[in-house]
Amino acid sequence: MSISHAPPSKSGPDISDIPGKDAPLELDPLVPTSSRRTRVPRWLRRTTGPVVLVLLWQVLSATGVLTSDVLASPGRIAQVGSDLIADGSLASAMGTSLQRVAAGLLLGTLVGTGLALVSGLFRIGEDLVDAPVQMLRTVPFVGLIPLFIIWFGIGEAPKIAIITLGVTFPLYLNVYAGIRGVDSQLIEAGESLGLSRWGLVRHVVLPGALPGALTGLRYSLGIAWLALVFAEQVNADSGIGFLMVQARDFLRTDVIVVCLIVYAFLGLLADFVVRSLERLLLQWRPTFTGR
C-alpha cells in the first residue's frame, strides 16, 4: 500500500503533509562511530573519577569537616607514605605480603584446578570430589584461622593455608563449570577427527574451559587479598596487615590509609595482570566487547 495512490482530493490534513513524489525526503545522516566517540582518551576518562574523589577528600580535610583522628588528609597520607617508603618499612612489608599471596595463590591454583579437572573430566571424579568440595566451600574460611593456628603454629604456614583455602574454591567452581560448559558438538567434532582422549582434553576441553578459568582467577585474586588481610592481622610480626595493626594501636589513621591504598593498588595490579592474560589468551572469543 502506498500513499501516493490515494486520490489527492480525499486526503485528510495529515496525509496532505506527506510530501509528494517530487518533494525531497528529509534524510538523516548516520554518523560513523569513530566521529561519535568523544575525543577524551580512555585512560583520562578512567582516572577522572578517582581524582575527583581525592580532591573532594582534600577539600573536606582542609576545611576541617574531616578531622585527622577520623581520617587523615590526602596530603598527610602522601607525606606518611613517602616516609614509609623512605625508611624501607613499607617495601619490606609489601615484600612479605606479596610472598604470602604468591605462595597461597600458587598452591590454591594447583589444588583448585586439579580438583576441578578430576571432577570435570571424569564422572567418578565428580561423584567423589564434588560433594565434599561443595560442603567445604560454604564454611567461612576465615573461621578456620583458630584451627589453622593450632595445626600450623603462628609462622607463615597458617597464613598461606588461609589464602590457599580462599583461592581454591572460586577456581574450582569456575574451572569445573568451564569444563562442563564446553560445547558437546565440538567434542563430537574432535572425536570424528580421531582425537584421543587426552587429545580431546588438550585441544577441546581445556581451551574451552579457559574463559571460565580466568573468571575464577579474577575471583581468586580478590579473595587472596582479603584472606591476606585477615591472616596478617592475627599473630603477624611482618607484612602490611601487621603494619595496620600496629598503626591502630597508635591511632595512626594516616598509616592505616597508606596500607589500605597499598592493598587497593595491589588489587588493581592483580586485575591488570588478569586482564592482560584474558586479552592474550581469549582473543579468539567471538563475544561482545562493549561499545
| Interacting residues with another protein (CB under 8 A) | 185-186, 188-195, 199, 203-204, 207-208, 210, 283-286
Q: Indicate the residue among 180 and 203 with the shorter CB distance to another protein.
A: 203
Specify the DSSP element, H or E, that contains 274.
Answer: helix 253-281
Q: What is the DSSP letter of 30?
A: P
Helical axes 89-121 vs 156-180, angle rounded to 10°: 40
For residues 51, 52, 58 and 62, what is the CA-based torsion angle, rounded to 10 degrees? 150
Q: Indicate the residue among 200 and 231 with the shorter CB distance to another protein.
A: 200
**Measured from the CB of residue 119, what is the shortest distance to another protein in angstroms?**
23
CA distance to 17, 86, 226, per residue, from 9 (Å): 13, 91, 78
Based on the number of CB atoms within 10 Å of its own CB, is 49 exposed (0-12), middle (13-18) or buried (19 or more)? exposed
**Measured from the CB of residue 185, what is the shortest distance to another protein in angstroms?**
5
Q: Indicate the residue among 136 and 186 with the shorter CB distance to another protein.
A: 186
Beta strands in the chain (DSSP E): none
Q: Are 214 and 281 in contact (CB under 8 A)?
A: yes
Helical axes 89-121 vs 253-281, angle rounded to 10°: 40
Q: Indicate the residue among 46 and 123 with the shorter CB distance to another protein.
A: 123
**Measured from the CB of residue 29, what is the shortest distance to another protein in angstroms?**
29
**Measured from the CB of residue 190, what is the shortest distance to another protein in angstroms?**
7
Spatial distance between the Cα atoms of 211 and 179, rounded to a whole number of angstroms: 10
**Measured from the CB of residue 82, what is the shortest distance to another protein in angstroms?**
46
Q: Indicate the residue among 117 and 221 with the shorter CB distance to another protein.
A: 117
| Nearest by Cα to 167 from 130, 117, 220 | 220
Q: Indicate the residue among 37 and 285 with the shorter CB distance to another protein.
A: 285
Q: Indicate the residue among 20 and 194 with the shorter CB distance to another protein.
A: 194
Dihedrals phi, psi of 124, to nearest 5 degrees:
-65, -35
**Measured from the CB of residue 267, what is the shortest distance to another protein in angstroms?**
29
**Measured from the CB of residue 128, what is the shortest distance to another protein in angstroms?**
27
Grid look-up 617495601 returns 91
